Chains A and B, each alone.
Chain A
Amino acid sequence: MTQHQPNLKAAKISGGVHTDQRHDSAHKHVAGEAVYIDDMPEPAGTLHIGLGLSNVAHGTLKSVDLAAVRAAPGVVDVLTYADVPGENDVSPSGMHDDPVLAEGKVQFHGQPIFAVVATTREQARQAARLGKIEYEELPSVLSIWDLDPENDKQVTTPLTLNRGDAAAAIAAAPRRVKGRMKLGGQDHFYLEGQVSLAVPGEDDEVTIYCSTQGPSETQHLVSHVLGVPSHAVQVEVRRMGGGFGGKETQANQCAAIAAIAAKKHKRAVKVRLDRDEDMTATGKRHDFAIDYEVGFDDEGRILGVDYMFALNAGFSADLSGPVGDRALFHCDNAYFYPNVHAKSAPLYTNTVSNTAFRGFGGPQGMVGAERVIDEVAFAVGKDSLEIRKLNFYDPMGTPGERNLTPYHQKVEDCIIQRIVAELEESAQYTRRRHEIAAFNANSRFVKRGLAMTPVKFGISFTKTESNQAGALVHVYSDGSVHMNHGGTEMGQGLHLKVAQVVAEEFQIDLDRVKITATTTAKVPNTAPTAASSGADLNGMAAQDAARQIRKRLTDFAAEKYQVPADQVVFLPNRVRVGNQEIAFNDLVKQAYLNRIQLSAAGHYKTPKIHWDRAKGRGHAFYYYAYGAACAEVSVDVLTGEYVVERADILHDTGRSLNRAIDIGQVEGGFIQGMGWLTTEELWWDGKGRLRTHAPSTYKIPLASDRPKVFNVALTDWSEAYEPTIHRSKAVGEPPLPHGMAVLHALSDAVASVADHKICPRLDAPATPERVLMAIERLRAEAAQAK
């Protein structure tokens, strides 16, 4: 790179907040120079792991004969649970139900039983197939659909939310509907699979380069597994090739196995899962069975609603408790329920343990809410958008009661009305509604559908201690800045946004701020980069660190130049001290010579939030992010095939730190949400084997699945109601549920075959098959009604 020549006359720094910057690694991405864990040069003698996976869904291990594995070419060792020096558990929830390697029993098809350590990865994978394992098979539960959410086994404590008297309100309501929805899960399909490289150090030390969203948690769990203090374990990650929640807890098992082998053999050890293994052996978005009953008036105003959100936790708790909680937190989406009762049921099954996935149960809650809206709309015979508008929370600043959530938090920042109104206008909703009706009346084989769905997404971890962050900022004596914080980069542009914040604080150009790998050795005890919180938390922590240093520089300059501190002003790349301007670099140099500390650790904790789970009450979220999406589809009624003709999105990221990055998050989130609700189908066979374990069988959207017309905009008028980092709003998860608009547009097209008289109850994923079967069902019902 060329030597930096700071512009000392600039009116503005280059790369501050609220500017569109390109991803800091974009150049390296396109050149193939960005280094992911598997791209790092391996230390000499690096060994590789192949996993031996369970062939049954549930059973006790009668015998595990690994003689042939040990005898295979290149095999150095075979690890089983007996090789775990500390506790054989990587449960993130403290439930002690996530063995590193199966001990005595297996609880899902694909559970790791042993780990081959070999000279090459290919040898390790080959040998891993040679294990002779005898099982005593036990009865297995493979789906939640037929389970009893009240009485069947749950992996952790469910949550209940209650406000008013839902049962009485429903009973007394003029109209009532009761139903059930099947909602599929989703594989993360990060392009870079799970990977860890463990390098042993002296004594009890080990360094793990791990594709993880939660380096601190990986560190703590590995130390637990190794039986050593956390200070012996260092976890580092420069970037991930995608995360989406799939590397929040799911990275820990690979990291632990790599660390165990590395310490045992005093050699570097790499674990990199094959795509099939990754999809088979690591957790996914939870599939749900949603039971609902709603009471409403003849206008379509909801009076009371009762939900049961049963979720497929899989064999262990992992994060299923909080995922179920977040589903309940979003079962209102943007709607006020005068009376509500909602319950979660994290059910045990003999499938892989499900985990975090962008939205973390929130989208599932919202899908439930939108199904209820649809039911009401069909019951009263109105356009579902009318029902939506009728039931929105009151707009910001309205006095009254229609702003209380089911968890008793007051919604103070509701802007959904304005967003929906603007989108309705820009997407020409009403005009297209009429055009589509005319088209459908004249089209026998192709039907069109249109829908608009809102999003209100709560921002904060519901686990209070996770709402903190740390940062470490150094200013070197030449004025260049080294920035480090607890957040991880998985493509979302977090490092860039935090660097913009630091550049803004010092008023120096962005390229003076060095982005560095996340490591537990620089910033300890961090929250995973999750819950959309990355920039909110780490941006604040980095700002705090930068402000500490800036204050020291200010005090130093004030003293040295004998001016009041308020006459020390940071201008672009320079500092005005009294009547003179000094280059930032020069002031830093002077400060160094005067022995001023130019390094600081910053910290931030989110204010205002509290949450009492036992009571189901609290101020669970610091604020909400809003948005709305409108989608139009065409459906072939002979085959169920469809295309998305158009999608329009208007999304709120407050005063965006970087609109270019945020637009990318909204576009990508929508497509990912659309994939979840349309073509991405997880399919287990009768033996509990996941048969959609690779891209050949598991179909995420392609470029040719994009809406033919795709208009995405950010609100240019909104700003965070709370003093967030530069009044921006989180953007990671909130756009994903915009994919609901496609599901509802499909539903609308399906409904047209029965003259919009019957709620299609289209389940998800709405594959062409589900769409066609819904069409057939509606036609049969309509014929019967005649």
Chain B
Amino acid sequence: MATVKTRNHIRFILNGEDVVLGNVAPDATLLDYLRLQRTLRGTKEGCAEGDCGACTVLVGRLSGGKLVYESVNACIRFMGSLDGCHVVTVEHLAGGGDKLHPVQQAMVDFHGSQCGFCTPGFVMSLYGLWMKSPEPSDAEIEKSLQGNLCRCTGYEAIMRAARAISDYGKAAKDPLLVERKAITARLEAFRDGIRVEVGEGKDRFVIPASVDDLADVLEAEPTATVVAGSTDVGLWVTKHMRKIAPVVFIANIEGLQGLSHDKGVITIGAGVTYTEAFETLSKHIPALGPLIDRIGGEQVRNMGTIGGNIANGSPIGDTPPPLIALGATLTLRKGKTRRTISLQDFFIAYGKQDRAPGEFVEAVHVPVPAKGVHFAVHKITKRRDEDITATLGAFWLSLAKDGTVAEVRIAYGGMAATPKRASAVEAALVGQPWTEATVEAAMAKYAEDFTPLTDMRATAEYRALAAKNLLLRFYMETTGTKAPLTVSRYEAA
């Protein structure tokens, strides 16, 4: 392979300061860097797995030429993924003076802190929200706080503070908005379009310059750990103490950021985050919006990618079942060779996917259901938000003119070692009149499709029962009934 021009350090802005780091481990986290190397100890470690939000910071990055700030979990954010970014910690908000930022002053005045340990994280999440939405609804506030745990206040005081932030100052006067142009220019200046390689031998990480470059890197190093949002790999490091080097960071590769809707198919690049995909997906496939809102917390959705959710092959990933039901396909790439397979075929067995060494997921293609097709997805968890699936069912149904089932695809997560179609149930439905009696008969077939497990999330009995009941819920939805079919936080029952 020809020698590739590389840069051997990362560059980013920390609060106001340009940082150049050449000595940084592939698995070094932002939280440890802030706390241990920079003694910026306002950012806390509560869980080290991206669930509690005590470590929330904002990361600004150029997305399509625009500077976007998003809340992220510093505990599972690798340093290597920050190249070209602006990291903003709680210390930056008050600007060192005695005067607090509107977000902070509202939290003080409305008694939003008790023990105070989670507070910097809440401040940062609310700050991220306020920048995007200065007069947020309660639903918006709650959504932005799904990834922040508070054990003291019961959240009510924090909600009161969040509603009042704009009474304390206008977003237009916010330092980060005032400095937006300057920061953008500084981040632009960092962009040199060349590959970054930091470290030696196995103990190194690479940030490819482009998708082609990524293909080259993985051909040369097929066992490297590919990291996009690090919302899963982060835990391999912080919890399992696994060695992940060499690491290839793909989150900032522009060629993987594509998101398009063309001829009834949505194509999502492997580097597109849940947050980025939300608008397009929920516009064209409305049932996916509420689902995405229940994946992780806001910080996780800002980092995690749909590509990663697929590629890591988990049986409890939330996007594969609906995407399978929708008939999605995957583009896999190895070197210069691409192939397209159905998503359903990608999942072979537990921990095993149809992906060769050096091959990577480049994009997923999602057909938008045609007019008249019914599509729904329902996720069952112990806690409504920011919880991992106990069982999740996705339903795609096309009815014939005579009211019989022309075609149906039903896929589940949490019910088997992989995301899996309910073939026996589907068979019991196809060709039958779409009635409650048909559905009831099909519900008896779940036992042929699934033998779920008992674990800490649910017993096998509950999974089996709730899973088949979801088919009944789906049926009722297609009848157009006005009666409430389930409980809801945000819609009038």
Contacts and interface: CB of A to CB of B under 8 A. Distances in A.
B483 A190 contact: no
Contact of B382 (A23, A39, A193, A768): A768
Given A28-B116, A29-B113, A635-B487, A664 B153 contact: yes
Contacts of A638: 466, 469-470, 472-473, 486
B383 interface: yes
Interface string B466-489: 100110110010000001111111
Interface in A399-453: 442-446
A773 B104 CA distance: 45
B152 A773 contact: no
B39 interface: yes
User: What is the predominant secondary structure among interface residues of chain B facing chain A?
Assistant: loop
Contact of B100 (A27, A241, A672): A27
A387 B117 CA distance: 43
Nearest to A642: B487
Contacts of B44: 36, 191-192, 241
A712 B153 CA distance: 13
B485 A446 contact: yes
Nearest to B28: A122
Contact of A704 (B384, B390, B476): B384
Nearest to A128: B241
Given A32-B120, A492-B114, A712 B380 contact: no
Which of A23, A639, A671 has the most C-beta atoms of chain B within 10 angstroms of its own C-beta? A639
A41 B120 CA distance: 19
Nearest to A31: B94
B145 A706 contact: no
Contact size range, B? 35 or more
Interface in A596-626: none
B152 to A, nearest CB: 5
Contacts of B465: 772, 776
Contacts of B279: none
A27 B90 CA distance: 12
Interface stretch (B46-54, B248-256, B424-432): B46-54
Nearest to A770: B462
A275 B49 CA distance: 9
B41 interface: yes
A636 B151 CA distance: 27
B141 A703 contact: yes
A664 B152 contact: yes
B54 A191 contact: yes
Contact of A445 (B94, B156, B483): B483
A239 B103 CA distance: 23
Interface stretch (A135-143, A155-163, A284-292, A688-696): A688-696
Nearest to A27: B108
Given A445-B484, A768-B380, A773-B462, A190 B114 contact: no
A757 interface: no
A492 B145 CA distance: 22
B115 A643 contact: no
A528 interface: no
Given A703-B155, A772-B466, A641 B43 contact: no
A667 B107 CA distance: 16
Contacts of B149: 189, 191, 695, 700, 702
29 contacts: A22-B109, A29-B113, A30-B100, A31-B42, A189-B151, A242-B117, A275-B48, A443-B483, A445-B476, A445-B483, A446-B486, A640-B466, A641-B487, A643-B487, A661-B111, A671-B154, A679-B382, A691-B455, A694-B49, A701-B155, A702-B145, A702-B383, A702-B386, A704-B142, A704-B143, A712-B156, A769-B459, A772-B465, A776-B465
Interface of B: 32, 35, 39, 41-49, 51-52, 54, 89-91, 93-94, 98, 100, 103-105, 107-109, 111-120, 123, 141-143, 145-146, 148-159, 238-239, 241, 380-388, 390, 455-459, 461-462, 465-466, 469-470, 472-473, 476, 483-489, 493
Interface of A: 1, 22-23, 25-36, 38-39, 41, 122, 125-126, 129, 188-193, 239-244, 274-276, 442-446, 490-493, 634-636, 638-643, 660-661, 663-664, 667-672, 679, 681, 683, 685, 691-692, 694-697, 699-706, 708, 710, 712, 767-769, 772-773, 776
Counting from the closest, the 7 A-B pairs by CB-CB distance are A32-B42, A491-B115, A241-B117, A29-B116, A671-B154, A491-B114, A695-B51
Given A491-B114, A639-B473, A640-B466, 6 more contacts: A191-B118, A442-B483, A671-B155, A683-B455, A697-B456, A708-B489
